[in-house]
Amino acid sequence: MKRIVFFTVVCINAMLFMALKIDNTGLTIPLRTSGAEPGYCGDPAGGNLNCTNCHSGSDPATQSGWITSNIPETGYVPDEEYTLSATATLEGYTKFGFEVSPQNAGGTFFGNLSATDTETQLTSNTGYITHTSSGTSGNGSKTWNFRWTAPASGSGPVTFYGAFNAANGNNSSSGDIIFLSTLEINESKPIGIRDNNLQSKISVYPNPVHDQLTIEKYFPGPSSVEFTSINGELIHSETMDGYLHRADLSSFQTGIYFITLRSDDYIITRRIIKF
């Protein structure tokens, strides 16, 4: 009799354990609020898998413009740092998830990702970034921001592969809606003079800065000066005609900003801290 009871208990426990599985990936039924596993954003390194491998529902729809950045249209500058945003939108939904990875067509990871707040995190494979448990709530849409440091010169084009999950909140994997989106970026090709040490072409001081920022450049010709927030929003722009320029930042709020100097020959970005 004791053996029968023991066998029954074991079987029940086994069925409960199996009920918590959705497939052979070992993922559990509820929305993965702690973040997605690496390799599920429709990327070549992950075998073009996406969230439908874990969440049942309709086939993924492809959306344009869900991944954006402050990378110029001319392309990324090698070794420079940029802000990217991933946005999922679906009216009536309040729970969202995402995963993004920068790769080339052959599945090679390009550049370095980094989280900027508590709503994003790198996965066990640092070539992927995903949401955290505190970064899933939204009201018809959800935006995540993160940083990307461009790869070395000569790396070529990069594609940001992204998968998004709009969860219906039924505490199961069924009925969720999956979307895919990509952002393709070319490597910037400077016109005219080529210089592998762009940072030596300008000086920006003091940094941190309170009100007056001095910008000094060591090449001729007019330039434009752009100030963007850490979220990639353009805050202010002005023209720099000479070699020395002073910008008034007294109206800027305290925080981190990026200053980009653009000319016919160069695109140079520096990070500054306003206090």
Which one, of 46, 44, 151, 141, lies nearest residue 36 by Cα? 46
Mark whether 267 and 135 lie in a shared domain.
no
Residue where a domain terminates, one of 158, 185, 212: 185
pLDDT of residue 223: 92
Side-chain-side CA neighbours of residue 16 (13 Å): 6
Would you say residue 222 lies in a domain?
yes
Mark whether 139 and 233 lie in a shared domain.
no
Name every residue whose Cβ is closer than 8 Å to that of residue 238 and which is 6 or more positions away in sequence: 224, 225, 247
Mark whether 67 and 168 lie in a shared domain.
yes
Would you say residue 175 lies in a domain?
yes
Residue where a domain terminates, one of 133, 151, 185: 185
Mark whether 136 and 263 lie in a shared domain.
no
Would you say residue 7 lies in a domain?
no
pLDDT along the chain (275 residues), means of 10: 36 32 35 78 93 66 94 88 96 94 96 96 97 95 96 93 86 76 88 55 91 92 90 89 92 92 87 91
Domain around 147: 26-185
**Angle at the Cα of 263 from the Cα atoms of 194 and 104, rounded to 5 degrees:** 60
Which one, of 237, 233, 228, 239, lies nearest residue 269 by Cα? 228
pLDDT of residue 32: 54
Fill in the DSSP letter of residue 207: S
Cis peptide before 206 (omega within 30 of 0): yes
Would you say residue 10 lies in a domain?
no
Mark whether 238 and 167 lie in a shared domain.
no
pLDDT of residue 94: 93
pLDDT of residue 197: 62
**How far is 113 from 35, CA to CA, in rounded Å?**
15
Would you say residue 61 lies in a domain?
yes
Provide the CATH number for the domain around residue 248: 2.60.40.3080
Mark whether 132 and 262 lie in a shared domain.
no
Mark whether 219 and 266 lie in a shared domain.
yes
* pTM exceeds cut of 0.85: no
How many domains is the chain partitioned into structurally? Answer: 2
Which one, of 142, 37, 128, 49, lies nearest residue 89 by Cα? 142
Mark whether 115 and 211 lie in a shared domain.
no
Would you say residue 180 lies in a domain?
yes
| Phi-psi region at 39: left, alpha or beta (left = phi > 0; alpha = psi -120 to 50) | left
Would you say residue 47 lies in a domain?
yes
Would you say residue 17 lies in a domain?
no
Provide the CATH number for the domain around residue 161: 2.60.40.4060
Mark whether 220 and 108 lie in a shared domain.
no
